[in-house]
Chains A and B, each alone.
Chain A
Amino acid sequence: MSPKRILVADDEPNMLRVLTLLLQRAGFEVRTARDGRQALESILANPPDVLVTDIQMPHMTGEQLCRELERQVPERRFPIFVMTSMTDREHRCWSQGMRDTEFLEKPVSVRTLIAKVERHFAQAQDGAPGDA
C-alpha cells in the first residue's frame, strides 16, 4: 500500500520543517506549503489524503483556505486538521457545517496528530464516517 500523502501548510519555516520530519518518520509522504494560496494550488493540482494547516498565514489564511475548499472542492474526501492558538468556540464557529474539519490546539502534539490521522484512515477503511 502506498504511503498516505499529507499536505502541511504553515508560514513558520521551523514548524514546517519539524512537522515534515516527524510525519515522514511516521511513514507519511509529506508536501509543504508556505501559505494558504500555495496550499490551495497544490490541492487543486493534486489532492492529498490529509491537510494539516495553520490559521495565520500570509496571502491566504487557513480559514480562507478552508472556505475556498468548500467552494471549489465540494466533493472533498480528505480530512482537514486546523492548528489554532485560540481555545474559545467563537474563533472556531466559521467551520460549522464543514465536513471532516477538526481543530488542534497549539502547542500541537504531533503524536496526537498522527494518532488522529491514523484513526481517520482506519475508520475510512472500515467504511465508517470520518472524524468531524
Chain B
Amino acid sequence: MLAASAAAVGLIVALLHSRGLLAIGAVPDIVSIALPVFLLTALSYWMIRRETRLLSQLGARMDEVGKAYGLEAIDSGPATEFRRFIQRFDRFLHFVNAKVHELDQQGLEAQTASRLLAYKHEKAEAVLDAIPEGVLVIDRSGVPTFANPKVEPMLGVSRQELIGQPAQKWCTNKEVLSLLMRFTQATDPAVHADGIEFSPAEHPDRRTSVSFYPLFSPRDRTTHFGLLVVFRDISREYVAKQAGAEFVAQVSHELKTPFSVLAAYSELLMDYHTLPEVERVNAVNVIRDEVERAAALINNLLSISRLESGSLPVVRQRVKVHDLLRGSFESMSKNAQTKGVALELKIPPDLGSARLDKDLFRIAIDNLLSNAIKYSDSGDRVTLSAEHLEDRQMRISVKDQGIGIPAQDRDKVFKKYYRSDSEAASSRGGHGLGLYLAKQIVELHHGKIDVSSGPEKGTTFTVEFEAQHARLEEVPQA
C-alpha cells in the first residue's frame, strides 16, 4: 500500500516538473505540492482499506461456511488480505466443485432408488391385482386406501366409489359392515376374526367369504397400519357343498324307500298264516326286487367311489353286444312293467361284438334304461336299439317318451350329483349318479355319450363306441 502511495506522489511531482511548475530549490512550492499528495495518499489508503475490509469479511464468511463442512480457516500469515482472499476463494471453489459432484452422485442414487421403489410398488400392485381374491386395505381412520380390481364385482361398487370413503357409503351387507366397524373401532388391533360368508345382493347365486387381518409393520409389531380385508369367491365350493347335501338327501331317500318296503312286507309276513297265497308270493317277489334295487344303488355308489379313486380296473374282453343288451333289457323289464312303461328291444341279430368291460358296460346301459323308465309315465314307451355306423362304430340308443330335458339342463345331466330343478324331474327321486357313471364308463371305453331332447318330447341317449361287425369277426366268443 505504501509503495502505491509513493508511486502516486512520484507521478504528481514528475507531472508538475514537466510543466515548469516545479523548480529545484523552490521549497514553498514543494510544500504546496506535498500537502495534496499526502492527502491523496491518505484518501487512497482509506479507500483501499474500505475495499479490503469487504474482502476480509467475505473471506471470514467463507471460513465460517467452510468450517461447517470441516475446512480449516486460512491463518493470517504474512500474506496480504488480497492474497488471503484469493487463497480462500480458490479453496472455496474447489470445495464447491467437490460438493456439486457429490450432490450429483447423490441425485443419481436417489433417482435410481426412486425408480427401484416405483418398480417395487408396481410389482406389489401387480401381485395384488393378479391374486384371485379381492383385497381391500383400510387405514386406521377406517377408510379404504387400496382395493384391487377383484373387489369390484364382489362388493358391487367401483374402486373410485371405495377409496377414501367410509364403509357406510359402499358396504351394503349389514353383517360385513358391522364387522368392519368392529375392527376399525377396536382398541386392540390384534383382534382378528374368522371369515364370514355372504351372497352379494346383486348376485344371490354367488357366495363370498370375507376375512379380516390387522396390518402391522414387519419390523415393528407395535406399529399398526390398519386392516386388510380379503374377499374370496367360494361359489363353487358352496354349490358343491349344497350338491353334496342334496346328494345325501337323495341317496338317503333312494336307500330308505326300498328298506321301508322291506320293513312293511316283513310285518305283513309275520301274519303269513292268515295271508292269502297270492299275497305271500307277491311279498317274496317284492322283497327280492327291492333288495336288487337297493343293491343297484349301492353298486353305483361303490363303482363311482372306485372309479374316482382310480382303483377300478377295466377288464376288456370280446363281448357279444346283442347278449349284453338283451341282459340289460330283461333285468329292467320288471321295473318298466311295474311302472306301466312299455320296454322295447330293437336290435339286429348280427350285431357282432366289441371289446368291452362287460360288467361296467352293463352298469352304463342299465343306468340309461332305468333313467328312461324313471322319467316316463304309465303308458309311455322306452326303446333300446343298436345299429352299426361307418368306421366300425356302433351306436346304442335309449329312447323314451317321458318328460324330456329342458335345453338349459342338457349339458348338465352328466354332471355328478346333478339333478334338474324342474318340478317334473325333481319329484321323481334319483341321486344324480346314474348318468354321471354311464358317461364315465363310456369314456373309459373311448366312446362318447350324447343326449337329445326337448321338454314334453321325450329324450334319446346315444352311446357310440368302436365295435366289430359280425361279418368281419374272426372267432366270436360268448
A associates with B: yes
The answer to whether the Cβ of A85 comes within 8 Å of any Cβ in the partner chain is yes
How many angstroms between the C-alpha atoms of A17 and B429 in the bound complex?
A: 19
Known: A21-B268, A56-B427. A107 touches B279 (CB 8 A): no
User: Contacts A106-B257, A106-B259, A107-B259: A22 and B249 contacting too (C-beta < 8 A)?
Assistant: no
Cross-chain contact A22 with B252 (CB below 8 angstroms): no
Q: Does chain A have a CB within 8 A of B289?
A: yes
Q: In the complex, are the beta carbons of A85 and B286 less than 8 A apart?
A: no
**A56 vs B426: C-alpha distance in the bound complex, in angstroms?**
8
Contacts of B252 in A (CB 8 A): 85-86
Residues on B with C-beta less than 8 A from A110 are 263-264, 267
When distances are taken between beta carbons in the complex, the residues of chain B under 8 Å from A108 are: 260, 263-264
Cross-chain contact A58 with B424 (CB below 8 angstroms): yes
The answer to the question of B265 belonging to the interface, with a C-beta cut-off of 8 Å to chain A, is yes
Interface range on chain B: under 10, 10 to 19, 20 to 34, or 35 or more? 20 to 34
| B129 adjacent to chain A (CB < 8 Å) | no
Question: Does B273 sit at the interface, judged by CB under 8 A?
Answer: no
Please tell me if the beta carbons of B264 and A18 are within 8 angstroms of each other in the complex. yes
Interface residues of A in 43-95 (CB under 8 A from B): 55-61, 83, 85-86, 91
Whether A107 lies near B262 (C-beta < 8 A) is yes
Give the chain A neighbours of B279 by CB distance below 8 A: 21
For the complex of A and B, 7 pairs with smallest distance between CB atoms = A107-B263, A106-B256, A85-B256, A85-B253, A18-B264, A107-B260, A107-B259
B224-282 contacts to A (CB < 8 Å): 249, 252-253, 255-257, 259-265, 267-268, 271, 279, 282
B290 within 8 A of A: yes
Residue A19 lies at the interface, judged by CB distance under 8 Å to chain B? yes
Residue A15 at the chain B interface, CB threshold 8 Å: yes
A118 to B286 Cα, complex, angstroms: 28
Residue-wise, chain A 3-17 has the 8 Å CB interface mask toward B (1 for contact) of 000000001111101
How far apart sit A70 and B275, CA to CA, in the bound complex (Å)? Answer: 39
Residue pair A56, B259 in contact (C-beta under 8 Å): no
Q: Which of B255, B267, B286, B424 has the most CB of A within 10 A?
A: B267
Q: Are B427 and A58 in contact (CB under 8 A)?
A: yes
Q: Is the interface of A mostly helix, strand, loop or mixed?
A: loop
A15 and B264 form a contact (CB under 8 A): yes
Q: Contact between A14 and B268 (Cβ–Cβ < 8 Å)?
A: no
Provide 28 A-B residue pairs closer than 8 Å at the C-beta atoms, listed in order of the A residue.
Answer: A11-B428, A13-B339, A14-B289, A15-B257, A15-B260, A15-B261, A17-B286, A18-B261, A18-B283, A19-B264, A22-B268, A25-B271, A56-B429, A59-B423, A59-B427, A83-B260, A86-B252, A86-B253, A91-B249, A106-B257, A107-B259, A107-B262, A107-B264, A108-B260, A108-B264, A109-B267, A110-B267, A111-B267
Chain B interface helix/strand/loop/mixed: helix
Q: Beyond the given A19-B264, A56-B427, A106-B257, could you list 14 further A-B residue pairs with CB under 8 A, ordered by the A residue number?
A: A12-B257, A12-B261, A13-B339, A15-B257, A15-B261, A18-B261, A18-B265, A18-B283, A21-B268, A22-B264, A85-B252, A86-B249, A108-B263, A109-B267
Interchain nearest-CB distance for A30 vs B (Å): 13
Least distance between B250 CB and chain A CB atoms (Å): 9
Residues of B310-347 at the interface with A, using a CB-CB cut-off of 8 Å, are 338-339
A85 to chain B: closest CB distance in Å? 4
List, in ascending order, chain A residues with CB within 8 A of B253's CB: 55-56, 85-86
- A13 CA / B337 CA spacing, docked (Å): 11
Given A13-B338, A18-B268, A59-B427: A107 in contact with B289 (beta carbons within 8 A): no
